[in-house]
Amino acid sequence: MGEFRAVGLPRLAAGLALAVALAVAGCGGESSLSPGAPAATTIAGTGLRAVEVARGLDRSIYVAVAPGEPDRLYVVGQAGTVRVIEGGRVLPEAFLDISSLTLTAPKGAFASERGLLSIAFAPDYATSGRFYVDYTDRSGDVNVVEYRARDGRTEPASARRLLFVEKESERHHGGQLAFGPGGRLYAGVGDDAASQVHPQSLEPGDYLGKILALEADGSWEAVAYGLRNPWRFSFDRESGDLWVGDVGENRWEEVSRVPAGSSLANLGWDGYEGFEQVVWDDGGHNEPRGPGELVWPSAVYPHAEGCAVVGGYVYRGRDVPALRGRYVYGDYCTGKIWSLDPAQPGEVRLELRLSRTIASFGEDEAGELYAVSRQGVVYRLGQ
C-alpha cells in the first residue's frame, strides 16, 4: 500500500458531534492536530500506579479473568500458552498449550503479529467450562476455536473451530475476542495489507477489516467495518458501548466509540486515517462506502507520540474513584497510558508511562484494570 498525503478534515453532517483528543508526552505540552481539528487539552492524571503482579512470563500478550474465579488471572503467551496466576504466583502447569498449532517469531526477534493473541471465557464458564481463543495457525491464517475445561484443565479433544479467515499478509490479524451485551462473542480481524481485498467490503464471507459477532446459527455478522487493525476492543460493562483501538498506517492512531444498540458502524479506513482523508501516492483515494453510520474517532494521536494504539476499557472499578467512567487506553511502543471522558473526549489525561511496552489491558470481575507487557510482566493499575 503506497504512501499517502492527508487533506483537510471532512465536512461533518449536521448534528454530528465531533470530538478529538491528542495525547501529548507531558502535561501542558504542545499539541499538533490535523488541520482544522479542535484543540485538545491535556490535564494532570490521577496519580495512577502500576504494581507488578508477576514477571518472567514468555511473550505475554493478553490477560483475562474467568467468571467466578476472582483470584485467578489467565495470561496469554504469544508463543501458544495460557498460564495462570493464582495467589501471586504463576502455576507450573499451563492451562492451555497450543504452541504446536501456531507460529510466531523466535524469542528476541522483531515483535511478530502472529501467534496466540487472546482468550475469552463464556459468561457461563463456571458451569459449561467453555472458553475461546484467537490464534494464527502455522500458515498465518486466523482461527477462533472453542475449548472446554474441566477442573481447571483444558480438554484438547474438545476443540471446535468457529471461524477461519485466510490471510495473505503477516500483519493485521486483529486478534481480540470479547463477550458483549447479551452474551454474544465478538472477534476482531484486521485488513490484509498484501491483498486487494478492501476493508470497506461487505461481501458475504469477507471478514477482513471488521469486528464480527457470532450468531446463534454459527454464522458471523459484521457489526463494525472500515478497520485497519482492531488490535484491542472492549465493551463498557455499564453502557454496552463498544470501544475500538484501531492501529494506524503511518500518521494517526485512533480510538473510536460505537454506541450500544448500533446495528452497523463504518470506522472509515481506508478512506480516512483518523480525521484525515487518505490520498495515495498515485493521487487516488477511497471514499468510505456502504451501509451504516460513519463513526469518527473519539481520540487520535500522531506517530510522534507512539507507534500503535492499544485499546483498553472504561474503568468501572472502585480503587481509583477519579478514574471511574473514563476510557483508559495506551500505546505499545512508548508505554504511555491515557484516559478520556466519553462525554468530553477532547480532554485527555496522561495517567502513567510504563518503562516497558504495553501489549494489552485487562479487566477483572470487579472492574479493576491490568496491563501486560510483551516482556513478560503483568501489572495491576491502581493508587
Q: Is the pTM of this model over 0.85?
A: yes
pLDDT tens-digit profile of 227-245? Answer: 999 999 999 999 999 999 9
Report H helices in 218-301: none
How far apart, in whole angstroms, are the C-alpha atoms of residue 31 and residue 26? Answer: 10
Measured CA to CA, the distance from residue 173 to residue 189 in angstroms comes to 5
Q: What is the pLDDT of residue 282?
A: 80
**pLDDT of 87 higher than 70:** yes
Q: What are the backbone dihedrals phi and psi of residue 252, each rounded to the nearest 5 degrees, phi first?
A: -125, 135
User: What's residue 361's pLDDT?
Assistant: 98
Identify the burial level of 320 via C-beta atoms within 10 angstroms of its C-beta, where 0-12 means exposed, 13-18 middle and 19 or more buried: buried
Tell me the C-alpha distance between 341 and 157, whole Å: 45
Q: What pLDDT, on the 0 to 100 scale, is given for residue 10?
A: 43
Residue 35 scores a pLDDT above 50: no
Q: What is the mean pLDDT of residues 68-92?
A: 95
Segment 262-279 shows an average pLDDT of 92
Give me the long-range contacts of 154-163 (CB less than 8 A, separation at least 24).
154/95, 154/96, 155/129, 162/132, 162/214, 162/218, 163/187, 163/207, 163/212, 163/214, 163/220
4-382: what CATH class?
A: mainly beta
The identity of residue 376, as a single letter, is G
**204 Rama sector, left if φ>0, alpha if ψ -120 to 50, beta otherwise:** beta
Question: Rounded distance, CA 365 to CA 66, Å?
Answer: 8
- pLDDT of the residue at 36: 37
User: Per residue in 319-368, pLDDT tens?
Assistant: 999 999 999 999 999 999 999 999 988 788 999 999 999 999 999 999 99
* Confidence at residue 192, expressed as pLDDT on a 0 to 100 scale: 84
Q: Is the pLDDT of residue 121 over 70?
A: yes
Per-residue buried b or exposed e for 202-238, using 16+ beta carbons within 10 Å of the residue's own CB: beeebbbbbbbbbeeeeebebbbbbbbbbbbbbbbee
The answer, yes or no, to whether residue 144 has pLDDT greater than 70, is yes
